[in-house]
Amino acid sequence: MLAALTPTQLGLLIALVGILAGWGLATWLGRQDRRTYILSRAPELPVRALSTHDDAWLRGRALLEDPLVCPWFDAECIAFSYRIEDKKTRTVRDSKGRTRTETYWATVHSEDECRDFVLDDGDTIQVALREGENEAWTSLGTDYQGSRRRHSASVLEPGRTVSVLGVRREAGDFGPLEEVPLLVTFKDRDQRVARAESKEIWIFAFALLLPALAGTAAVAVGTEVQEPEDWALPGLVGFGVLTLQWTLLSYNRFIRLRHQVREAQRQVEIELTMRADLVPNLVTVVKGAAAHERDLLEDLTRIRSQQGLAERIAGEEQAQATVRRVLLLHESVPELSSSELYLDLHGRLWALEEKLAHARRHFNDSVTEWNTRTQSFPGVLLAKAAGFKPSPLFAAEPEEALPPRLDLAIQPADSAAVDG
């Protein structure tokens, strides 16, 4: 069929394929960029720190009281993917008309099943695996039944340590919600995010090169290039397509990144507001147990009175120090360790600080990427033309680590007492 086309028609066909490939890859790139953002936006948290509608990465052991049994291999599992394949033969013909016989394996039966499981990191939560994506597979290998049939399977075994991305839903379980998927993987959060970022880079590279190569080939075929000096025009067209595609992809990336910076800023604002909403209860506890801590009371009141993101950012260093003093207040006032109100507030404040620390890092990472793209060549050319300007970072990361959660800090002593 292609042989019947004129060089001009074939060139136009190649150009059309290049345009479609560029459009498809650009669309895929946008989706992958959003997925990477969702994966990186979620903090890694313990189960006990989760609130309803929190998206997060959890890491712990996958447990199931009544596990599945993988067919043929009789292996207990939470999920399995099982295949039966038969060896078959077929005759193929090459481009020169010669025939040969080749063998291949054809799937004659497949079976996949999974069950929701419990994730245990010291606390437990139900994970809705049947609604999610499972990447945590362990191959059981291949078992041959004679010479022409083989069985193969992959499973997720109970007791394995996995990372799970999802949302704590109103029902109390952990699963997908809106745009956040349920994803189970053996990789930790940083490794999985790095994998998504690497995939995004490869898609970007192909989205640039394929249309450019198609443009070059289209002109070369259409003009029937035969001599080396005739490649100037195809090369020029290919470079022009490459430049145009880079401009479109980079501009779209700027727009998506600007949206992500704003979204990250909103998340920081939410966490800061939730922290400020805890202040009245914290003030009540401090007044009741440590009224002499007047400067602490004043600092808490200052956190509550701050209005607007700019003022909160300016006072964030002092606010971090104040929060750490509250989280360590039980050391100077030991009776607080038995106060249910203080324990509740301590746990809620500790969880908020963990989420805020991640939101702050994520915002700064997004802003850093934005600033790098707007100030480095060749992105700076497009940024200046489009009016994209660098953005300020949020407060710097505190030098001191967050004090341990109170119930975690006293757990070893309780455990020792029980063991003794």
Instruction: Place 323 in a pLDDT band, splitting at 50, 70 and 90.
Output: confident
Match 């080749």 to its residue by tokens: 102
Calpha distance 363→352 (Å, rounded):
16
Whether CATH 1.10.10.10 fits 227-411: no
Calpha distance 386→257 (Å, rounded):
14
Is-contact 46 402, C-beta < 8 A? no
**DSSP secondary structure letters along 305-361:** H--SHHHHHHTHHHHHHHHHHHHTHHHHSGGGGG-HHHHHHHHHHHHHHHHHHHHHH
How far from the centroid of its chain's Cα atoms is residue 184's Cα?
Answer: 12
Instruction: Tell me the pLDDT tens digit for each residue of 175-234.
Output: 999 999 999 999 999 999 999 999 999 999 999 999 999 999 999 888 888 777 788 898
Q: What is the pLDDT of residue 93?
A: 83
Query: What are the phi and psi torsion angles at 226 (to 5°)?
Result: -130, -30
Instruction: Tell me the pLDDT tens digit for each residue of 95-135.
Output: 777 888 999 999 999 999 999 999 999 999 999 999 999 99
Mean pLDDT computed over 160-181? 96
pTM of the shown model: 0.82
Domain boundaries along the sequence of the chain:
45-187, 227-411
Q: What is the pLDDT of residue 256?
A: 93
Q: What is the pLDDT of residue 413?
A: 38
Q: At what angle do helices 232-289 and 294-305 cross, to 10 degrees?
A: 140
Q: Give me the amino acid identity at 282.
A: L
Q: At what angle do helices 7-41 and 232-289 cross, to 10 degrees?
A: 10
Structure token digits, residue 389: 């300007």
Q: What is the pLDDT of residue 186?
A: 97
Other C-beta atoms within 10 Å of 277: how many? 11
Name the maximum alpha-carbon separation found in the chain: 95
CB-based contacts of 288: which residues, under 8 Å, 6+ apart? none
Mean pLDDT computed over 311-335? 79
Instruction: Place 348 in a pLDDT band, splitting at 50, 70 and 90.
Output: confident
Q: What is the pLDDT of residue 327?
A: 83
Q: What is the pLDDT of residue 417?
A: 34
First-to-last alpha carbon distance for the chain, in angstroms, is 84
Calpha distance 365→378 (Å, rounded):
20
Mean pLDDT computed over 240-260? 93
Burial of 166 (0-12, 13-18, 19+ CB in 10 A): buried
Strands (E), 169-248: 174-175, 183-185
